[in-house]
Amino acid sequence: MEELSMIFLHIRTRFADAFFPRLSEWVAAAVICGCAWMLAVNKDLMASAPKPFQLMLDVATQPTWAKVCLFLGAARLIILFINGAWRRSPHARSMMATLSCFLWMQIVLSFSATLGLSVVGFAGFLVMDFLNIIRAARDARTVDDAYAGSRIGGPL
């Protein structure tokens, strides 16, 4: 029983250490999951206001966008949880932020037709995730360099 409590303590400590530095990634993943929920619950959201959603509808249907958002958001949350609890995963974090930028760009371009507040809000997420790509890539470089350094002088 003591081993199990030590495992949970380790996961909690590691997760807490990794959560706040990655807060913008957690927020972006949560917003994507929220978009999936909104698109799934409000079945005629895109059809009722086709002008701001026209570009997105040209790419895929609303149910497809809901599934894409659900997959992307859930996968990103899982990767962030694994990154915080068990092992560093900066390569996966960078990849997920890059895929998220595709989604943010689609939303920004779609809403640019109305030039409303939604353009500013989602453009903020686009810029934030672009910065998350850079931060995760920097973390990946650090992990790669540490791994390469541990192999120097070691057995081949």
pLDDT (tens digit per residue) in 117-155: 989 999 999 999 999 999 999 988 887 887 777 666 554
Select from 101, 109, 96, 106 the least CA-distant residue to 128. 101
Position with higher pLDDT, 40 vs 153: 40
Contact present, 96 and 32 (Cβ < 8 Å)? no
- Given a cut of 50, whether residue 156 has pLDDT beyond it is no
Q: Supply the pLDDT for residue 86.
A: 64
For residue 32, give both structure tokens: 């994507």
The reported pTM is 0.84
Contact present, 94 and 59 (Cβ < 8 Å)? no
Position with higher pLDDT, 102 vs 87: 102
Q: Supply the pLDDT for residue 151.
A: 64
16, amino acid identity: A
CA angle centred on 141, ends 130 and 19, rounded to 5°:
60
